[in-house]
Chains A and B, each alone.
Chain A
Protein backbone atom coordinates (compact mmCIF):
# COMPACT_ATOMS: atom_id res chain seq x y z
CA UNK A 1 0.00 0.00 0.00
CA UNK A 2 1.39 3.42 -0.99
CA UNK A 3 1.27 5.92 1.86
CA UNK A 4 1.23 9.71 1.59
CA UNK A 5 3.20 11.05 4.51
CA UNK A 6 2.67 14.76 4.20
CA UNK A 7 3.68 17.82 2.28
CA UNK A 8 4.58 21.46 2.16
CA UNK A 9 3.08 24.11 -0.09
CA UNK A 10 3.84 27.67 -1.13
CA UNK A 11 0.88 29.32 -2.80
CA UNK A 12 -1.13 32.54 -2.73
CA UNK A 13 -2.98 31.50 0.44
CA UNK A 14 0.06 32.00 2.68
CA UNK A 15 1.31 29.76 5.48
CA UNK A 16 -0.54 26.78 6.88
CA UNK A 17 -2.72 28.72 9.34
CA UNK A 18 -3.60 31.32 6.70
CA UNK A 19 -4.40 28.50 4.28
CA UNK A 20 -6.63 26.86 6.84
CA UNK A 21 -8.49 30.16 7.41
CA UNK A 22 -8.94 30.81 3.72
CA UNK A 23 -10.16 27.29 2.97
CA UNK A 24 -12.60 27.47 5.90
CA UNK A 25 -13.95 30.97 5.29
CA UNK A 26 -13.46 31.37 1.54
CA UNK A 27 -11.55 34.63 2.02
CA UNK A 28 -9.05 35.03 -0.77
CA UNK A 29 -5.88 36.92 -1.50
CA UNK A 30 -6.18 37.76 -5.15
CA UNK A 31 -3.56 40.06 -6.62
CA UNK A 32 -3.08 41.49 -10.08
CA UNK A 33 -0.38 41.39 -12.69
CA UNK A 34 0.40 43.49 -15.74
CA UNK A 35 0.77 41.50 -18.89
CA UNK A 36 2.21 42.84 -22.10
CA UNK A 37 -0.27 41.83 -24.77
CA UNK A 38 1.15 42.81 -28.13
CA UNK A 39 2.48 46.18 -26.95
CA UNK A 40 -0.46 47.06 -24.68
CA UNK A 41 -0.27 46.59 -20.91
CA UNK A 42 -3.30 44.68 -19.66
CA UNK A 43 -3.96 44.02 -15.97
CA UNK A 44 -5.19 40.56 -15.04
CA UNK A 45 -6.00 39.01 -11.69
CA UNK A 46 -3.15 36.76 -10.52
CA UNK A 47 -2.39 34.58 -7.51
CA UNK A 48 1.22 34.98 -6.43
CA UNK A 49 3.17 33.39 -3.61
CA UNK A 50 4.71 36.68 -2.44
CA UNK A 51 5.76 40.07 -3.71
CA UNK A 52 9.42 39.21 -4.35
CA UNK A 53 10.39 40.54 -7.79
CA UNK A 54 10.69 37.68 -10.22
CA UNK A 55 13.14 37.05 -12.98
CA UNK A 56 13.55 33.78 -14.78
CA UNK A 57 16.58 33.29 -12.60
CA UNK A 58 17.50 29.70 -11.78
CA UNK A 59 18.58 30.68 -8.26
CA UNK A 60 15.10 31.96 -7.42
CA UNK A 61 13.55 28.69 -8.54
CA UNK A 62 16.11 26.78 -6.47
CA UNK A 63 15.31 28.82 -3.36
CA UNK A 64 11.56 28.09 -3.57
CA UNK A 65 12.18 24.39 -4.13
CA UNK A 66 14.51 24.33 -1.09
CA UNK A 67 11.88 26.03 1.04
CA UNK A 68 9.24 23.38 0.36
CA UNK A 69 11.64 20.45 0.74
CA UNK A 70 13.06 21.83 4.00
CA UNK A 71 9.55 22.64 5.24
CA UNK A 72 8.40 19.11 4.46
CA UNK A 73 11.38 17.50 6.20
CA UNK A 74 10.88 19.68 9.27
CA UNK A 75 7.19 18.87 9.47
CA UNK A 76 7.85 15.15 9.27
CA UNK A 77 10.88 15.45 11.59
CA UNK A 78 13.13 13.84 8.98
CA UNK A 79 16.66 14.57 7.83
CA UNK A 80 17.63 14.25 4.15
CA UNK A 81 19.91 11.36 5.11
CA UNK A 82 17.04 9.47 6.77
CA UNK A 83 15.31 9.21 3.40
CA UNK A 84 17.22 6.13 2.31
CA UNK A 85 16.59 5.00 -1.24
CA UNK A 86 14.52 8.04 -2.18
CA UNK A 87 13.44 8.88 -5.72
CA UNK A 88 12.74 12.48 -6.63
CA UNK A 89 10.14 13.54 -9.19
CA UNK A 90 9.27 17.01 -10.42
CA UNK A 91 6.38 18.22 -12.56
CA UNK A 92 6.23 21.62 -14.20
CA UNK A 93 4.81 23.06 -17.39
CA UNK A 94 7.79 25.43 -17.49
CA UNK A 95 10.76 23.11 -17.36
CA UNK A 96 12.51 25.42 -19.78
CA UNK A 97 13.22 28.01 -17.05
CA UNK A 98 16.80 26.87 -17.03
CA UNK A 99 17.09 27.49 -20.76
CA UNK A 100 15.24 30.77 -20.47
CA UNK A 101 17.98 32.30 -18.47
CA UNK A 102 20.91 31.98 -20.88
CA UNK A 103 18.74 32.82 -23.85
CA UNK A 104 17.30 35.94 -22.18
CA UNK A 105 20.86 37.02 -21.54
CA UNK A 106 21.58 36.57 -25.22
CA UNK A 107 21.45 40.28 -26.01
CA UNK A 108 24.57 40.77 -28.04
CA UNK A 109 26.94 39.02 -30.39
CA UNK A 110 29.36 38.25 -27.60
CA UNK A 111 26.82 36.04 -25.91
CA UNK A 112 28.12 32.81 -27.35
CA UNK A 113 31.61 33.77 -26.17
CA UNK A 114 30.39 34.68 -22.67
CA UNK A 115 28.05 31.75 -22.24
CA UNK A 116 29.36 29.10 -19.88
CA UNK A 117 30.02 25.64 -21.25
CA UNK A 118 27.63 23.96 -18.88
CA UNK A 119 24.69 21.80 -19.65
CA UNK A 120 21.28 23.36 -19.17
CA UNK A 121 17.99 21.63 -19.82
CA UNK A 122 14.76 20.45 -18.29
CA UNK A 123 16.39 18.15 -15.76
CA UNK A 124 18.62 20.87 -14.31
CA UNK A 125 16.51 21.97 -11.32
CA UNK A 126 16.03 18.49 -10.02
CA UNK A 127 19.70 17.72 -10.55
CA UNK A 128 20.88 20.68 -8.49
CA UNK A 129 18.25 20.04 -5.81
CA UNK A 130 19.43 16.45 -5.46
CA UNK A 131 22.99 17.65 -5.08
CA UNK A 132 22.04 20.18 -2.41
CA UNK A 133 20.17 17.56 -0.37
CA UNK A 134 22.52 14.67 -1.12
CA UNK A 135 19.86 12.48 -2.79
CA UNK A 136 21.31 9.91 -5.18
CA UNK A 137 18.36 7.76 -6.25
CA UNK A 138 16.37 7.78 -9.48
CA UNK A 139 14.74 11.01 -10.56
CA UNK A 140 12.61 12.29 -13.40
CA UNK A 141 11.23 15.63 -14.53
CA UNK A 142 7.75 15.57 -16.08
CA UNK A 143 6.50 18.02 -18.66
CA UNK A 144 2.91 17.18 -19.53
CA UNK A 145 1.26 20.61 -19.25
CA UNK A 146 -1.30 20.93 -16.43
CA UNK A 147 -0.99 17.25 -15.50
CA UNK A 148 2.79 17.44 -14.96
CA UNK A 149 3.05 17.03 -11.19
CA UNK A 150 0.00 14.72 -11.07
CA UNK A 151 1.77 12.45 -13.55
CA UNK A 152 4.99 12.77 -11.54
CA UNK A 153 3.10 11.56 -8.48
CA UNK A 154 1.62 8.60 -10.33
CA UNK A 155 5.01 7.46 -11.66
CA UNK A 156 6.49 7.92 -8.17
CA UNK A 157 3.78 5.67 -6.76
CA UNK A 158 4.58 3.06 -9.44
CA UNK A 159 8.27 3.12 -8.51
CA UNK A 160 7.31 2.55 -4.87
CA UNK A 161 4.98 -0.28 -5.87
CA UNK A 162 7.79 -1.84 -7.91
CA UNK A 163 10.21 -1.64 -4.94
CA UNK A 164 12.60 0.48 -7.02
CA UNK A 165 12.57 3.07 -4.23
CA UNK A 166 11.39 3.26 -0.62
CA UNK A 167 10.52 6.95 -0.46
CA UNK A 168 9.33 9.29 -3.20
CA UNK A 169 9.65 13.04 -3.00
CA UNK A 170 7.30 14.62 -5.54
CA UNK A 171 7.56 18.30 -6.40
CA UNK A 172 5.23 20.62 -8.27
CA UNK A 173 6.72 23.82 -9.66
CA UNK A 174 5.05 26.78 -11.28
CA UNK A 175 6.44 30.27 -10.77
CA UNK A 176 5.86 33.57 -12.55
CA UNK A 177 6.76 33.28 -16.22
CA UNK A 178 6.10 36.23 -18.53
CA UNK A 179 6.01 33.93 -21.55
CA UNK A 180 3.29 31.80 -19.97
CA UNK A 181 1.16 34.78 -18.93
CA UNK A 182 1.50 36.40 -22.33
CA UNK A 183 0.76 33.12 -24.08
CA UNK A 184 -2.49 32.57 -22.18
CA UNK A 185 -3.45 36.23 -22.67
CA UNK A 186 -2.80 35.99 -26.39
CA UNK A 187 -4.94 32.85 -26.56
CA UNK A 188 -7.71 34.81 -24.83
CA UNK A 189 -8.01 32.20 -22.13
CA UNK A 190 -7.55 34.55 -19.15
CA UNK A 191 -10.50 35.95 -17.24
CA UNK A 192 -10.29 39.72 -16.78
CA UNK A 193 -11.85 39.57 -13.30
CA UNK A 194 -12.24 36.23 -11.51
CA UNK A 195 -12.15 32.48 -11.95
CA UNK A 196 -15.70 31.06 -11.82
CA UNK A 197 -15.57 27.27 -12.22
CA UNK A 198 -18.87 25.72 -13.39
CA UNK A 199 -20.65 29.09 -13.37
CA UNK A 200 -22.86 29.99 -16.33
CA UNK A 201 -20.85 33.21 -16.75
CA UNK A 202 -17.38 31.71 -16.36
CA UNK A 203 -15.02 33.53 -18.66
CA UNK A 204 -11.61 31.98 -18.33
CA UNK A 205 -8.79 31.03 -16.07
CA UNK A 206 -6.77 33.05 -13.56
CA UNK A 207 -3.17 31.91 -13.30
CA UNK A 208 -1.28 31.39 -10.07
CA UNK A 209 2.02 30.31 -8.58
CA UNK A 210 2.56 27.19 -6.50
CA UNK A 211 5.62 25.29 -5.39
CA UNK A 212 4.93 22.13 -3.45
CA UNK A 213 6.46 18.94 -2.16
CA UNK A 214 4.85 15.71 -0.98
CA UNK A 215 6.51 12.61 0.43
CA UNK A 216 5.25 9.11 -0.35
CA UNK A 217 6.33 5.72 0.91
CA UNK A 218 5.00 2.20 1.48
CA UNK A 219 2.96 1.06 4.46
CA UNK A 220 5.69 -1.23 5.84
CA UNK A 221 8.28 1.57 5.77
CA UNK A 222 6.22 4.44 7.07
CA UNK A 223 2.52 4.22 7.81
CA UNK A 224 0.06 7.07 7.31
CA UNK A 225 -3.72 7.48 7.39
CA UNK A 226 -3.40 8.87 3.83
CA UNK A 227 -2.98 6.43 0.97
CA UNK A 228 -2.65 6.56 -2.77
CA UNK A 229 -4.96 3.90 -4.21
CA UNK A 230 -4.32 4.13 -7.95
CA UNK A 231 -4.78 6.26 -11.01
CA UNK A 232 -4.80 6.56 -14.75
CA UNK A 233 -3.31 8.89 -17.29
CA UNK A 234 -4.16 8.98 -20.97
CA UNK A 235 -3.79 10.99 -24.14
CA UNK A 236 -6.94 12.15 -25.85
CA UNK A 237 -6.17 13.19 -29.42
CA UNK A 238 -9.39 15.16 -29.94
CA UNK A 239 -7.60 18.53 -29.89
CA UNK A 240 -4.21 19.74 -28.73
CA UNK A 241 -5.87 22.48 -26.65
CA UNK A 242 -8.88 20.77 -25.09
CA UNK A 243 -10.54 17.53 -24.08
CA UNK A 244 -13.51 16.44 -26.16
CA UNK A 245 -16.39 18.53 -24.71
CA UNK A 246 -18.65 15.47 -24.95
CA UNK A 247 -16.76 14.16 -21.91
CA UNK A 248 -15.95 10.72 -23.37
CA UNK A 249 -12.17 10.93 -22.87
CA UNK A 250 -12.53 12.44 -19.43
CA UNK A 251 -15.05 9.74 -18.41
CA UNK A 252 -12.74 7.01 -19.69
CA UNK A 253 -9.78 8.15 -17.60
CA UNK A 254 -11.94 8.46 -14.44
CA UNK A 255 -13.37 4.95 -14.96
CA UNK A 256 -9.92 3.47 -15.40
CA UNK A 257 -8.63 5.33 -12.35
CA UNK A 258 -11.41 3.76 -10.27
CA UNK A 259 -10.59 0.38 -11.76
CA UNK A 260 -6.88 0.86 -10.99
CA UNK A 261 -7.75 1.74 -7.40
CA UNK A 262 -10.05 -1.27 -7.21
CA UNK A 263 -13.10 0.68 -6.06
CA UNK A 264 -16.57 1.47 -7.43
CA UNK A 265 -17.79 5.00 -8.26
CA UNK A 266 -20.12 4.92 -5.21
CA UNK A 267 -17.08 4.76 -2.92
CA UNK A 268 -16.01 8.30 -3.85
CA UNK A 269 -17.00 10.99 -1.32
CA UNK A 270 -15.80 13.99 -3.29
CA UNK A 271 -14.23 14.76 -6.61
CA UNK A 272 -11.58 17.44 -6.80
CA UNK A 273 -12.37 18.66 -10.29
CA UNK A 274 -9.78 20.32 -12.50
CA UNK A 275 -12.32 23.18 -12.78
CA UNK A 276 -10.36 25.78 -14.74
CA UNK A 277 -13.45 27.87 -15.56
CA UNK A 278 -12.68 27.70 -19.26
CA UNK A 279 -15.91 27.05 -21.15
CA UNK A 280 -14.79 23.78 -22.68
CA UNK A 281 -12.88 22.27 -19.75
CA UNK A 282 -15.75 22.58 -17.30
CA UNK A 283 -18.20 21.26 -19.89
CA UNK A 284 -16.06 18.21 -20.71
CA UNK A 285 -15.49 17.57 -17.03
CA UNK A 286 -19.14 17.82 -16.02
CA UNK A 287 -20.28 15.56 -18.86
CA UNK A 288 -17.51 13.11 -18.00
CA UNK A 289 -18.58 12.95 -14.34
CA UNK A 290 -22.22 12.48 -15.37
CA UNK A 291 -21.19 9.45 -17.45
CA UNK A 292 -19.13 7.82 -14.68
CA UNK A 293 -21.32 8.41 -11.61
CA UNK A 294 -24.95 7.31 -11.45
CA UNK A 295 -25.39 9.70 -8.55
CA UNK A 296 -22.90 12.57 -8.72
CA UNK A 297 -20.72 12.86 -5.63
CA UNK A 298 -19.95 16.30 -4.24
CA UNK A 299 -17.27 18.05 -6.27
CA UNK A 300 -15.21 21.21 -6.10
CA UNK A 301 -12.59 23.26 -7.88
CA UNK A 302 -9.71 24.60 -5.79
CA UNK A 303 -8.62 27.08 -8.44
CA UNK A 304 -10.54 30.04 -6.96
CA UNK A 305 -8.24 29.66 -3.90
CA UNK A 306 -4.82 29.48 -5.55
CA UNK A 307 -5.44 30.08 -9.25
CA UNK A 308 -4.58 27.72 -12.04
CA UNK A 309 -1.07 26.69 -11.11
CA UNK A 310 -0.60 24.69 -14.36
CA UNK A 311 2.00 21.94 -13.98
CA UNK A 312 2.15 22.62 -10.24
CA UNK A 313 -1.52 21.96 -9.52
CA UNK A 314 -1.16 18.16 -9.26
CA UNK A 315 0.67 18.25 -5.95
CA UNK A 316 -0.56 21.66 -4.73
CA UNK A 317 -4.25 20.72 -4.94
CA UNK A 318 -3.60 17.28 -3.45
CA UNK A 319 -2.07 19.00 -0.41
CA UNK A 320 -5.00 21.42 -0.08
CA UNK A 321 -7.43 18.48 0.00
CA UNK A 322 -5.31 16.64 2.59
CA UNK A 323 -4.95 19.72 4.81
CA UNK A 324 -8.70 20.40 4.66
CA UNK A 325 -9.76 16.83 5.45
CA UNK A 326 -7.17 16.69 8.26
CA UNK A 327 -8.94 19.75 9.67
CA UNK A 328 -12.28 17.99 9.27
CA UNK A 329 -13.77 19.48 6.12
CA UNK A 330 -13.84 19.80 2.35
CA UNK A 331 -13.83 23.47 1.36
CA UNK A 332 -16.58 25.13 -0.63
CA UNK A 333 -16.09 25.54 -4.38
CA UNK A 334 -16.13 29.33 -4.69
CA UNK A 335 -17.48 31.69 -7.33
CA UNK A 336 -20.18 29.47 -8.81
CA UNK A 337 -23.11 31.86 -8.41
CA UNK A 338 -25.34 30.70 -11.25
CA UNK A 339 -24.80 27.10 -12.24
CA UNK A 340 -24.38 26.52 -15.97
CA UNK A 341 -27.87 25.40 -17.02
CA UNK A 342 -26.42 22.40 -18.87
CA UNK A 343 -24.97 21.01 -15.64
CA UNK A 344 -27.04 18.68 -13.47
CA UNK A 345 -25.48 19.47 -10.10
CA UNK A 346 -23.72 22.45 -8.52
CA UNK A 347 -20.31 22.12 -6.88
CA UNK A 348 -20.06 22.18 -3.06
CA UNK A 349 -21.39 25.58 -2.02
CA UNK A 350 -20.81 25.35 1.76
CA UNK A 351 -17.91 23.63 3.35
CA UNK A 352 -18.68 20.03 4.10
CA UNK A 353 -17.72 18.06 7.21
CA UNK A 354 -15.45 15.22 6.16
CA UNK A 355 -12.82 13.45 8.24
CA UNK A 356 -12.05 10.37 6.15
CA UNK A 357 -12.95 8.63 2.91
CA UNK A 358 -11.95 8.26 -0.70
CA UNK A 359 -11.39 11.17 -3.03
CA UNK A 360 -10.91 11.41 -6.76
CA UNK A 361 -8.51 14.08 -8.04
CA UNK A 362 -8.73 15.09 -11.69
CA UNK A 363 -6.33 17.02 -13.89
CA UNK A 364 -6.56 17.85 -17.59
CA UNK A 365 -4.26 19.79 -19.87
CA UNK A 366 -3.05 20.86 -23.29
CA UNK A 367 -1.61 18.09 -25.41
CA UNK A 368 -4.55 15.74 -24.71
CA UNK A 369 -3.28 15.00 -21.20
CA UNK A 370 -5.97 13.53 -18.94
CA UNK A 371 -5.09 12.28 -15.46
CA UNK A 372 -7.21 11.00 -12.59
CA UNK A 373 -6.12 9.41 -9.32
CA UNK A 374 -7.73 8.23 -6.10
CA UNK A 375 -6.57 8.85 -2.54
CA UNK A 376 -7.97 7.69 0.76
CA UNK A 377 -7.85 8.83 4.33
CA UNK A 378 -8.56 5.96 6.68
CA UNK A 379 -10.66 6.69 9.77
CA UNK A 380 -8.58 6.90 12.92
Chain B
Protein backbone atom coordinates (compact mmCIF):
# COMPACT_ATOMS: atom_id res chain seq x y z
CA UNK B 1 0.00 0.00 0.00
CA UNK B 2 1.20 3.49 -0.83
CA UNK B 3 2.38 5.11 2.40
CA UNK B 4 0.05 8.10 2.24
CA UNK B 5 -2.91 5.68 2.21
CA UNK B 6 -1.61 3.70 5.20
CA UNK B 7 -3.22 5.31 8.24
CA UNK B 8 -1.36 3.10 10.72
CA UNK B 9 2.01 4.07 9.23
CA UNK B 10 1.13 7.75 9.29
CA UNK B 11 0.08 7.50 12.92
CA UNK B 12 3.39 5.80 13.81
CA UNK B 13 5.25 8.59 12.01
CA UNK B 14 3.38 11.28 13.91
CA UNK B 15 4.03 9.58 17.24
CA UNK B 16 7.71 9.26 16.38
CA UNK B 17 7.96 12.95 15.46
CA UNK B 18 6.17 14.04 18.63
CA UNK B 19 8.47 11.88 20.72
CA UNK B 20 11.71 12.81 18.98
CA UNK B 21 10.91 16.50 19.20
CA UNK B 22 9.49 16.27 22.73
CA UNK B 23 6.26 17.99 21.70
CA UNK B 24 4.20 16.42 24.44
CA UNK B 25 1.47 19.02 24.25
CA UNK B 26 0.72 17.86 20.67
CA UNK B 27 -1.38 14.73 19.92
CA UNK B 28 -1.07 12.76 16.67
CA UNK B 29 -4.51 14.05 15.68
CA UNK B 30 -3.22 17.62 15.85
CA UNK B 31 -0.80 16.95 13.00
CA UNK B 32 -2.51 17.17 9.58
CA UNK B 33 -1.30 14.75 6.90
CA UNK B 34 -0.72 17.44 4.29
CA UNK B 35 0.68 20.32 6.32
CA UNK B 36 4.32 21.32 5.83
CA UNK B 37 5.95 20.05 9.02
CA UNK B 38 8.66 22.71 9.12
CA UNK B 39 6.30 25.62 8.37
CA UNK B 40 4.54 27.92 10.82
CA UNK B 41 1.24 26.39 9.68
CA UNK B 42 2.06 23.07 11.33
CA UNK B 43 2.10 24.75 14.74
CA UNK B 44 4.95 22.40 15.70
CA UNK B 45 7.68 25.07 15.72
CA UNK B 46 10.41 22.69 14.58
CA UNK B 47 14.00 23.76 13.96
CA UNK B 48 17.15 22.27 12.46
CA UNK B 49 17.93 20.23 15.58
CA UNK B 50 14.43 18.73 15.33
CA UNK B 51 15.12 17.77 11.71
CA UNK B 52 18.20 15.87 12.89
CA UNK B 53 16.24 14.18 15.69
CA UNK B 54 13.56 13.11 13.17
CA UNK B 55 16.22 11.73 10.83
CA UNK B 56 17.59 9.65 13.72
CA UNK B 57 14.06 8.50 14.57
CA UNK B 58 13.46 7.44 10.95
CA UNK B 59 16.69 5.48 11.03
CA UNK B 60 16.01 3.73 14.32
CA UNK B 61 12.30 3.05 14.00
CA UNK B 62 11.86 2.73 10.23
CA UNK B 63 15.31 1.70 9.02
CA UNK B 64 15.45 4.72 6.68
CA UNK B 65 18.81 6.41 6.12
CA UNK B 66 18.89 10.07 5.13
CA UNK B 67 22.21 11.79 4.62
CA UNK B 68 21.25 15.40 4.26
CA UNK B 69 18.95 17.19 6.66
CA UNK B 70 18.49 20.17 4.35
CA UNK B 71 17.43 17.98 1.45
CA UNK B 72 15.16 16.17 3.86
CA UNK B 73 13.51 19.41 4.90
CA UNK B 74 13.09 20.43 1.25
CA UNK B 75 11.76 17.19 -0.19
CA UNK B 76 10.01 15.41 2.62
CA UNK B 77 7.85 18.15 3.96
CA UNK B 78 4.53 16.57 4.95
CA UNK B 79 3.41 13.38 6.69
CA UNK B 80 1.95 12.14 3.37
CA UNK B 81 5.26 12.68 1.56
CA UNK B 82 7.22 11.07 4.35
CA UNK B 83 4.91 8.04 4.33
CA UNK B 84 5.25 7.69 0.54
CA UNK B 85 9.00 8.02 0.85
CA UNK B 86 9.10 5.10 3.31
CA UNK B 87 6.51 3.02 1.47
CA UNK B 88 6.38 4.00 -2.22
CA UNK B 89 4.02 1.20 -3.31
Residues on A lying within 8 angstroms of B by beta carbon are 38-40, 186-188, 239-241
Q: Are A38 and B52 in contact (CB under 8 A)?
A: no
Q: Are B68 and A188 in contact (CB under 8 A)?
A: yes
Q: Are A187 and B65 in contact (CB under 8 A)?
A: no
B59 at interface (Cβ–Cβ under 8 A)? Answer: yes
Q: Are B65 and A188 in contact (CB under 8 A)?
A: no
Q: Are B65 and A186 in contact (CB under 8 A)?
A: no
Partner of B52, one of A39, A40, A186, A239: A186
B77 at interface (Cβ–Cβ under 8 A)? Answer: no
Chain B residues near A240: list those with CB within 8 A. Answer: 49
Q: A186-B52, A187-B52 are in contact. Are A38 and B59 (CB under 8 A)?
A: yes
B42 at interface (Cβ–Cβ under 8 A)? Answer: no
Judged by DSSP, the binding face of B is helix
Chain B residues near A239: list those with CB within 8 A. Answer: 47
Measured in the bound complex, the distance between the Cα atoms of B67 and A186 in whole Å is 9
Measured in the bound complex, the distance between the Cα atoms of B67 and A217 in whole Å is 49
Measured in the bound complex, the distance between the Cα atoms of B70 and A239 in whole Å is 18
Distance in Å: Cβ of B30 to nearest Cβ of chain A: 25
Q: Are A186 and B49 in contact (CB under 8 A)?
A: no
Most buried by B among A38, A39, A40, A187: A38
Q: Are B49 and A188 in contact (CB under 8 A)?
A: no
Partner of A40, one of B47, B65, B68: B65
Q: Which residue of B lies closest to A40 (CB)?
A: B65
Measured in the bound complex, the distance between the Cα atoms of B49 and A239 in whole Å is 10
Measured in the bound complex, the distance between the Cα atoms of B50 and A241 in whole Å is 12
Chain A residues near B69: list those with CB within 8 A. Answer: 188
Judged by DSSP, the binding face of A is loop
Q: Which residue of B lies closest to A37 (CB)?
A: B67
Measured in the bound complex, the distance between the Cα atoms of B51 and A187 in whole Å is 10
Distance in Å: Cβ of A125 to nearest Cβ of chain B: 30
Give B28-72 interface residues, CB cut-off 8 Å to A. Answer: 47-49, 52, 56, 59, 65, 67-70
Partner of B56, one of A40, A186, A241: A186
In the complex, 8 of the A-B residue pairs with CB atoms within 8 angstroms, ordered by the A residue number, are A38-B59, A39-B65, A40-B65, A186-B52, A186-B56, A188-B68, A188-B69, A239-B47
Chain B residues near A38: list those with CB within 8 A. Answer: 59, 65
Q: Are A188 and B52 in contact (CB under 8 A)?
A: yes
Measured in the bound complex, the distance between the Cα atoms of B56 and A187 in whole Å is 10
Chain B residues near A186: list those with CB within 8 A. Answer: 52, 56
Measured in the bound complex, the distance between the Cα atoms of B63 and A204 in whole Å is 27
Measured in the bound complex, the distance between the Cα atoms of B67 and A239 in whole Å is 23
Additional 9 contacts, C-beta under 8 A, given A186-B56, A188-B52, A188-B67 = A38-B65, A39-B65, A40-B65, A186-B52, A187-B52, A188-B70, A239-B47, A240-B49, A241-B49
Distance in Å: Cβ of A201 to nearest Cβ of chain B: 15
Measured in the bound complex, the distance between the Cα atoms of B56 and A188 in whole Å is 12
Chain A residues near B47: list those with CB within 8 A. Answer: 239
